[in-house]
Structure 1
Amino acid sequence: MIPLKRRKVVPTGAGNTGSEETSPNKFPQVVLFLLERKMGASRRAFLSQLGRKKGFQVEELFSEGITHVICENNSGDEVIAWLESQVRGRGRATAHLLDVSWFTESMRAGRPVEILDRHQLQQQQIREVEVVVFSAPSYACQRRTTLDNHNAILTDALSLLAENAELSGEDGRGVAFRRAAGVLKGLPEPVTAVTQLVGLPCLGGHSLRVVKDILENGASCEVEDTKQSERFKVLKVLTGIFGVGVKTAERWIQEGIRGLQQLQDSGRTLNRAQQAGLQHYEDLNQHVTRSEADAVAAVVEEAVASVLPGARMTLIGGFRRGKLTGHDVDFLITHPEEGREVGLMPKVVSWLESQGFLLYQKTTKNSYLEGEDGPARPSSNMDRFERCFSIFKLTEEVNGEGLKPWRAVRVDLVVSPISQFAFALLGWTGSKLFERELRRWAGHKKAMSLSSHALYDNTQRRYLRASSEEEIFAHLGLEYIPPSERNA
């Protein structure tokens, strides 16, 4: 190591100074910039000083006056993406993109050597071809998003940051990350450069930095740090207990509880849902397969038909959108004759209990009232249908998997009057972001209020009736999007 007091510091723009470390600029038509990416700061500083000694002008900062960009271990695509991000909105960068071999040969020759094919970065010949720039509507309810996600590595990263924000009580940041992920999910091709995302909605600076980090380095430091965060891991475990929300988990953490065994050993009093959630934790945190969902559906359908012939039952949620696995199974139940559904839920629950299918259940009554002055603002985002939150005992005889005698599965039953069925079907199909954006579109663009119960026109001061999802989309002035394309 050279002692610090003897080390010379090369100031910015040293190529234009008269320092003893710098020779006069011998080649005014050549302005060099050494890209630090993958080269490293120390090697870049050494090579920059060497170039100045040889009479070359070497700039510390990139500008449009640069004629030669010197790179090491970078592909042409990587450097083009970096350059485009530097000159955004100011035209296209026109510098030569060269491997460090051109620089070292020029240093040996004491002059700029001829640029040969071997000096140019790989794929430099297609540099002038325009990168495909994606476009997308602002609202997720305007976009068709299938399960064919071409950018899973990017959307998984943003979704994890969204989850971390939500677990930290920062719902606004969580929504921002989920909207950004939703846009990327809908793109028709993989993203290869951040320049393709210029002008896309919902992609803020934070999300773009994460995307850029992954595209350039294969991973995001922020995402990897989040995965390793002790607090994040503990919150994931505790909120993975059925019936435990973020606030409860935070309180337990403050009291020193870090895992399931500590919670069991603490002697803490748990409510019925939490007791069931802790008892069946392993099962409830495994994905439910489509075949298991179909097995549950067969049982629920038998129960509904037994207590109210003619009633209709529909599998909703992610499975209706075409997903092959899910966290739970949801069903929407109605009857073609308005009012016949009243009293149905207790009978269905009683039938399931008598057959030994329910490990836990909690039923809530319908509290929705349609007001003359429009719908009252609900106390929460949850709808007010008659519902049964349950943990279902799926036996080997029913599911046919043969892995063990039975497993616990989360099942939600929702009963809707036929007059509200189309709205309930739309609201309960999801995805969560798609539904959030539908409500946002209704309010911001159409001056309407949309819920899983009804659609109210605030300008005309009247309810807009619908007997199908297609009619609701038409009321909102939107092109109908089928369930399989609502996976925002």
Structure 2
Amino acid sequence: MEASKKAVVYIMPQKIQKQRYKDMMKAALKHKFIVAEIFKSNVTHVVTEYETVAQVLKVLKIAALPQHTNLLKVNWFIDSVKARGPVQIQDKHRIPQGDEQVDHKDLPESASLPTPIPEYACQRSTPLKHYNAKFCEALELLQDYAEMREADDDYMRALAWRRASCVLKSLKFPLTSVAQLKGAKDIGKHVEQVLQSILDHGTSDEVEKVRNNPWYQKMKILTKVFGAGTKTAQEWIDKGWSSVAEVKENQTKGDWRLRFGLAFHEDLMELVTRLEADNFTKFIKHQSENLLSGVSVELCGGFKRGKTKGHDIDLLFTHPSKGKESGFLLRLLSVLESKNLILCGKWNKSTYTEEVMYSDSKRTRNNQLDHFEKWIGIIKFPKKWQREISEEELFGEEGENVSLTSESYDESEPAMKKFKSEELSPRDIAAQTRSWIARRVDLIMVPYDQYFYALVGWTGSKQFNRDIRTYAKRTHNYAMTSHGLYDLKERKALPAKSEKEIFDILGVPYFPPEERNC
């Protein structure tokens, strides 16, 4: 364009981060700007991070700028890159004359420097909808990639990306400058470089390189199979399989999760709606009350935090009378089985002991992060649960007969629904014409004295739980789990009668579930 032929741009490297300066020069050359490597008299546009003319003149060691030279903020260059050539100069692009500093109170609220950002995610309100989705998507993609790599230092790298994303989600304004994150504990130099690149160019080369990485694309697809972790997905890739269809065609072995996860992959990839979750919760509450009067049933996870869709449904059960919860979950499973609503699943008895309260958090033998009695599996959701239905239609649900043998659940056989050799295979069942869809469900039974800690834990988010537990240990020397809070100095448990009481004991602001989406 004509403007690009006349404009000679000099980008002052002072006060600009080294990597950002390289990115700016690369963008200028890409769009065929005429760029001066040093300041000369023919320069028409000086781009700088300095805030006054006096500061620029001092650095350039000159008394005054030539009359034809415009002194501009970096935002002029960003606008020009987006336009693929030098844009017309506006007042917002110009550096103020004289020695006055930029008055931040005159800037729009979104550009104002925020008050100090609290160190821990549990100290910050984090709504489901926030202002910085494009930045968080990029950081969480890098987190996802690091988690899949599983090298020695990748866990900490993934956690760093996640923590940075959590900071951005808590901001009450859209990020327009990395300076707005000054002092934030979890915003390191590497994070700043990625954010600055997105601010300058709308994207980050590092992020796009990962996004387009063939290995990452395969892992992203294969790890979504229910029952397949990164190790299993890598084994499939090593065998030359790069799609779920190829795995289905060639996979002959695997535990019940993998067999059903592959057979019902399309069902399980379809997100559960809030309406479905509510219908299922109502149905379970009705069945539960028939079994045990006064039992509490709570929908947890992302749905409790305000999400309208999710990958699974988590239901938390308790009863205010101690001991009443014993045996309840097995009886509920028998009811669901009798109504032919259980596709597959596994029941785990409670492994809780008092030592759990103060010992280091470790996974159970079933790879769970807590020790509650629970059932993890897949339920056959009648498709009519996907719409508004009457209570009569909902509570009268009898399930659908697919020629499977019903089994009762008892403590002598505390495992999962079994499929005998003469019965239909998971693939055969999936291929049938069905009036139901497979949905992932977790059912968790909690003693009442542990209930509100379990409610916090099973509500999430994962990072909120991680930070509130870290805060409890570092600030108070308390051990916190989904089972309770334990004063390690006084060697005693700290009971709570509500979620808010837990926050009060820890001395952190109480945030409702809708504000724990970090």
Tell me the TM-score normalized by structure 1. 0.78
Counterpart in 1 of 2:355? Answer: 371
Q: In structure 1, which of residues 178, 191, 209 is the aligned counterpart of residue 193 of structure 2?
A: 209
User: Given the superposition, is the C-alpha separation of residues 478 and 405 from structure 1 closer, same or farther in structure 2, using an over 3 Å criterion?
Assistant: same
Deviation at 1:481, TM superposition (A): 1.5
Contact 1:76 1:121 in 2 (8 A): no
For the pair 1:454 / 2:474, whether they are aligned, the reply is: no
Moved more, 347-356 or 413-422: 347-356
Map 1:159-198 to 2 at 5 A.
159-169=140-150, 170-198=154-182
Q: Deviation of residue 55 (structure 1)?
A: 11
Shift of 1:314: 0.5
Could you tell me which residue of structure 2 aligns to residue 265 of structure 1? 249
Deviations 1:65-104 (A, max 9, x none): 137699999984525999xxxxxxxxxxxxxxxx979xxx
Between the aligned partners of 1:321 and 1:436, the Cα distance in structure 2 is 16
Please list, as runs of the form range in 1=range in 2, the aligned pairs for 1:326-475 lying within 5 A after superposition. Answer: 326-371=310-355, 374-375=358-359, 377-379=361-363, 382-400=369-387, 405-475=435-505
1:239 paired residue among 219, 223, 226: 223
Output the CA distance in 1 between the equivalents of 2:69 and 2:227.
54
Aligned to 2:107: none
Shift of 1:202: 0.5
**3-state DSSP of counterpart to 1:410:** strand
Superposition pairs for residues 106-145 of structure 1, below 5 Å? 122-124=92-94, 128-130=102-104, 131-134=111-114, 135-145=116-126
Q: Alpha-carbon deviation of 1:220? A: 1.5
1:293 corresponds in structure 2 to 277
Contact 1:442–1:448 (Cα < 8 Å) also in 2? yes
- In structure 2, C-alpha distance between the alignment counterparts of 1:70 and 1:274, rounded to whole Å: 72
Deviation at 1:374? 3.4
2:28 equivalent to 1:39: yes
- Distance in 2 separating the partners of 1:427 and 1:244: 24
Offset of residue 409 of structure 1: 1.4
Q: Could you say which residue in structure 2 is the equivalent of 1:220?
A: 204
- How many angstroms does 1:148 deviate by? 2.5
Q: Quick one: distance in 2 between partners of 1:328 and 1:71? A: 63
Q: Could you tell me which amino acid in structure 2 is paired with residue 232 of structure 1?
A: Y
User: Is the contact made by 1:374 and 1:462 (CA closer than 8 Å) also made in structure 2?
Assistant: no
State the AA in 1 paired with 2:383: E
Identity fraction in percent: 34
Q: Does the Cα contact within 8 Å between 2:349 and 2:372 map onto a contact in 1? A: yes
Contact 1:316-1:425 at 8 Å conserved across structures? yes
Give secondary structure in 2 for the equivalent of 1:199.
coil
Larger radius of gyration: 1
Contact 2:478 2:486 in 1 (8 A): yes
Q: Is the 8 A contact 1:456 1:462 kept in 2?
A: yes
Indicate if the aligned counterparts of 1:288 and 1:328 stay in contact, CA closer than 8 A. Answer: yes
Task: Call closer, same or farther: CA 1:225–1:100 in 2, change over 3 Å.
Answer: closer
Inter-partner Cα distance in structure 2 for 1:219 and 1:211 = 9
Q: Deviations over 1:287-312 (max 9, x none)?
A: 21111111111222122123222211
Aligned mate of 2:514, from 466, 479, 484 = 484
Q: Deviation digits for residues 342-386 of structure 1, max 9, x if unmatched? A: 111111111112112221111111001013993464346610101
Structure 1 unmatched runs, 5+: 1-12, 14-34, 83-98, 102-117
Tell me: CA distance 1:55–1:464, structure 2 relative to 1, closer, same or farther (3 Å).
Answer: closer
SS of the equivalent of 2:345 reads strand
1:210 shift after superposition: 1.2
When residues 323 and 271 of structure 1 are mapped into structure 2, their CA distance, relative to the original with a 3 A threshold, is same
Match of 2:412 in 1: none
Contact 1:39 1:73 (8 Å CA) reproduced: no
- Counterparts of 1:255 and 1:70, CA distance in 2: 68
Between the aligned partners of 2:438 and 2:380, the Cα distance in structure 1 is 5
Q: Which amino acid aligns with 1:176?
A: A
Kindly indicate whether residue 314 of structure 2 is the aligned counterpart of residue 314 of structure 1. Answer: no
User: Alpha-carbon deviations, 1:329-351, whole Å to 9, x = none?
Assistant: 11100111111111111111111
Helix, strand or coil: the match of 2:146? Answer: helix
Structure 1 residues 43-71: Cα deviation after superposition (integer angstroms, max 9, x where no partner) = 6777568946x799x99999861376999
Structure 2: distance between partners of 1:36 and 1:220: 15
Residue 65, structure 1, aligned to residue 59, structure 2: yes
Is this contact kept in 2: 1:315–1:330, CA < 8 A?
A: yes
1:22 alignment partner in structure 2 = none
Compare relative contact order (CA 8 Å, sep 6+) and give the higher one, 1 or 2. Answer: 2
Whether the 8 Å CA contact 1:366–1:385 is kept in 2: the answer is yes
Deviation sequence 1:237-292 (CA, Å, 0-9, x none): 21111111111211222222222222122243121111111111112112211111
Q: After the TM superposition, which of the residue ranges 35-44 and 251-260 deviates more from structure 2?
A: 35-44
- Contact 1:39 1:72 (C-alpha < 8 Å) held by counterparts: no
8 Å CA contact 1:38–1:73 kept in 2: the answer is no
| RMSD (Å), alpha carbons | 3.5
Cα distance in 2, alignment partners of residues 273 and 486 from structure 1: 30
Cα deviation, 1:379-407, whole Å, max 9, x if unaligned, reads: 466101011112121112333279x8322
Cα separation, 1, equivalents of 2:72 and 2:43:
28
Pair 1:276 & 2:257 matched: no
CA distance in 1, matches of 2:271, 2:478: 37
- Counterpart of 1:133, as a letter, is L
Q: Is the 8 A contact 1:81 1:195 kept in 2?
A: no
Taking structure 1 as reference, are residues 371 and 44 closer, same or farther at Cα in structure 2, changes over 3 Å only?
closer
Whole-Å separation in 2 of the counterparts to 1:235 and 1:72 = 52
AA paired with 2:94?
Answer: Q
The amino acid across from 2:158 in the alignment is G
Secondary structure in 1 aligned to 2:467?
helix
Cα–Cα, structure 1 residues 69 and 414, in superposed 2: closer, same or farther, change >3 Å?
farther
The aligned length equals 420
Question: How far, CA to CA, are the matches of 2:357 and 2:444 in structure 1?
Answer: 26
Is the 2:357–2:486 contact (alpha carbons within 8 Å) kept by the matching residues of 1? no
Letter matched to residue 227 of structure 1: R
Change (3 A) 1:199 1:345: same
**1:78: which partner in 2?**
75
TM-score by length of 2: 0.73
Please say if residues 150 and 190 of structure 1, whose CA atoms lie closer than 8 Å, have aligned partners that are also in contact: yes
